[in-house]
């Protein structure tokens, strides 16, 4: 207990020192007051015994006794501290997996596309060098998602359509989302053997055959949950807030 108190005290002192040295406004959008409010700093011990300090400005400090890391993200006008997805947005933006749709907005209710998801997975993989070209006739090599699509196709994370297209701008469904994450996990050598009984959901049998195992795995691992106690909405559109939440769970 004494060691935990000492670690917490040390980190809080470090946080105070860092905050005092940083220039005014670094935690907020231009021409606004600093977002850090000392009265809204939350410190807690994680399950691993590390200390995590979160400020109201979206700065997350963690220290496990041997190292200290700092994740920062910009405050978005459409993400409020009380929103159910606010922690997820902080997590994925802090990790560099997702960006805002502008300097000041995240657009949490915005739809997601196949190109967006592939790009996030590519970032999660560390953006490795890609030596293969994409074979999809609707994906230009120099597009913002071209390298990510070529990488994902090579890893068999994504499959194209019968007409040779990838359809990068097609709205992403919830079952497509978990299927690509499942394939990513499998390609990375992760254990994907977990299965849940998704037929307990009233629309569980509506999950497409190609996505069934992936959905079973995702539900079993807590990567995705139902849109209600009785529905999964597998063909429903995946919003940016939902995507952020799923990736926060997946990368824990």
- Asked if residue 95 belongs to a domain, the reply is no
Task: Report the sign of the C-alpha dihedral through residues 134, 135, 141, 144, in that order.
Answer: negative
Residue 67 and residue 123 in one domain: no
Cα–Cα dist 22/246, whole Å: 33
Give tens-digit pLDDT for 90-131.
999 999 999 999 989 999 999 999 999 999 999 999 999 999
Could you tell me which residues come within 8 angstroms of residue 1 by beta carbon, excluding any fewer than 6 positions away? none
Phi, psi of 163 (to 5 degrees): -85, 10
Q: Evaluate whether 223 touches 181 at the Cβ level (below 8 Å).
A: yes
Cα–Cα dist 190/182, whole Å: 9
Q: Pick from 119, 129, 234, 231: which is nearest to 179 by CA?
A: 234
Residue 131 and residue 207 in one domain: yes
Cα–Cα dist 72/22, whole Å: 13
Residue 45 and residue 151 in one domain: no
Residue 62 and residue 143 in one domain: no
Domain that holds residue 42: 2-72
Residue 210 and residue 147 in one domain: yes
- Asked if residue 93 belongs to a domain, the reply is no
Residue 241 and residue 118 in one domain: yes
Arithmetic mean of pLDDT over the chain: 80
- Asked if residue 90 belongs to a domain, the reply is no
Last residue of a domain, one of 50, 72, 94: 72
Q: Which of 55-64, 93-102, 143-152, 229-238 bottoms out in mean pLDDT, i.e. has the lowest?
A: 55-64
- Asked if residue 20 belongs to a domain, the reply is yes
Phi, psi of 171 (to 5 degrees): -60, 140
Residue 8 and residue 132 in one domain: no
Give tens-digit pLDDT for 13-63.
554 544 443 333 222 222 222 333 333 444 444 444 444 455 444 445 454
- Asked if residue 109 belongs to a domain, the reply is no
Q: Evaluate whether 97 touches 123 at the Cβ level (below 8 Å).
A: yes
Residue 67 and residue 152 in one domain: no
Residue 214 and residue 150 in one domain: yes
Residue 119 and residue 242 in one domain: yes
pTM: 0.72
Could you tell me which residues come within 8 angstroms of residue 119 by beta carbon, excluding any fewer than 6 positions away? 144, 145, 148
Q: Total domain count for the chain?
A: 2
Residue 40 and residue 162 in one domain: no
Could you tell me which residues come within 8 angstroms of residue 116 by beta carbon, excluding any fewer than 6 positions away? 145, 172, 243
Residue 62 and residue 170 in one domain: no
SS (H, E, C) the chain: CHHHHHHHHHHHHHHHHHHHHCCCCCCCCCCCCCCCCHHHCEEEECCCCCEEEECCCCCEEEECCCCEEEECCCCCCCCCCCCCCHHHHHHHHHCCCCCCCCCCCCCCCCECEHHHHHHHHHHHCCCCCCCCCCCCCCCCCCCCCHHHHHHHHHCCCCCCCCCCCCCCCCECEHHHHHHHHHHHHHHCCCCCCCCCCHHHCCCHHHCCHHHHHHHHHHHHHCCCCCCCCCCCCCCCECEHHHHHHHHHHHCC
Last residue of a domain, one of 72, 100, 133: 72
Q: Which residue has the higher pLDDT, 37 or 241?
A: 241
Last residue of a domain, one of 72, 96, 129: 72
State the average pLDDT over residues 141-170: 96
Cα–Cα dist 130/225, whole Å: 33
- Asked if residue 102 belongs to a domain, the reply is no
- Asked if residue 130 belongs to a domain, the reply is yes
- Asked if residue 191 belongs to a domain, the reply is yes
């Amino acid at each position: 207990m004494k060691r935990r108190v000492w670690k917490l005290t040390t980190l809080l002192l470090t946080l105070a020192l860092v905050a005092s040295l940083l220039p005014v406004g670094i935690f907020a959008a231009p021409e606004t007051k600093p977002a850090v409010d000392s009265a809204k700093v939350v410190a807690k011990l994680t399950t691993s015994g590390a200390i995590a300090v979160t400020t109201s400005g979206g700065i997350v400090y963690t220290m496990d006794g041997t190292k200290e890391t700092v994740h920062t993200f910009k405050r978005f006008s459409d993400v409020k501290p009380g929103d159910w997805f606010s922690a997820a947005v902080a997590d994925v933006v802090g990790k560099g997996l997702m960006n805002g749709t502008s300097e000041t907005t995240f657009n949490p209710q915005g739809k997601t596309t196949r190109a967006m998801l592939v790009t996030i997975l590519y970032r999660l993989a560390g953006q490795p060098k890609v030596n293969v070209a994409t074979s999809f006739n609707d994906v230009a090599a120099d597009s913002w998602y071209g390298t990510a699509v070529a990488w994902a196709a090579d890893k068999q994370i994504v499959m194209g359509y019968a007409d040779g297209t990838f359809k990068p701008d097609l709205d992403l469904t919830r079952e497509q989302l978990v299927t690509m994450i499942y394939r990513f996990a499998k390609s990375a050598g992760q254990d994907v053997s977990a299965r849940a009984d998704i037929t307990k959901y009233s629309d569980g049998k509506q999950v497409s055959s190609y996505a069934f195992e992936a959905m079973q795995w995702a539900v079993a691992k807590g990567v995705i949950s139902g849109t209600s106690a009785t529905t999964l909405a597998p063909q429903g559109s995946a919003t940016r807030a939902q995507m952020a939440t799923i990736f926060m769970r997946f990368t824990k």
